[in-house]
């Protein structure tokens, strides 16, 4: 069996440079984790760009984007429930303060959780009940 570097070398001969091999997730859980992380990434990018557009050019897209955020929020609630959806939105939009410092999420028992990566948050998120 060929390793990835040999396969990549062969593909580059046929289609040119710039070809990348990306392994497909093997399980439903891996696919769900990848989609979850991709959703967080996308929301962060759109949120940041929307705010930069307003701050730099005075263009306010809230009237348009609020419906898209609402649609995403509804789908997250349908998939995970209200409690977990609240944690999702906190993580996606509120885990940093105005100075860019990472904030923690405090549970009912007073324990604070800090998430340096989306993967860390996903594992915590999946463990939430409710």
**pLDDT, tens digit, 9 for 90 and up, residues 21-71:** 666 667 888 989 999 999 999 999 999 999 899 999 999 988 889 999 999
CA distance 60 to 56: 11
Mean pLDDT of the chain: 89
Please say if the pLDDT value at position 112 is more than 80: yes
The residue with tokens 């040119």 is 16
SS3 113: strand
């Amino acid at each position: 069996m060929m390793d990835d570097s040999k396969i990549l070398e062969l593909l580059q001969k046929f289609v040119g440079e710039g070809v990348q091999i990306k392994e497909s997730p093997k399980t439903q859980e891996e696919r769900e984790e990848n989609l979850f992380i991709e959703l967080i990434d996308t929301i962060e990018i759109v949120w940041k760009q929307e705010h930069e557009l307003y701050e730099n050019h005075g263009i306010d897209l809230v009237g348009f984007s609020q419906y898209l955020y609402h649609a995403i929020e509804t789908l997250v609630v349908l998939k995970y429930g209200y409690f977990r959806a609240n944690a999702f939105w906190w993580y996606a939009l509120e885990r940093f303060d105005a100075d860019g410092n990472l904030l923690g999420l405090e549970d009912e028992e007073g324990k604070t959780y800090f998430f340096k990566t989306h993967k860390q948050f996903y594992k915590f998120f999946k463990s939430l009940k409710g």
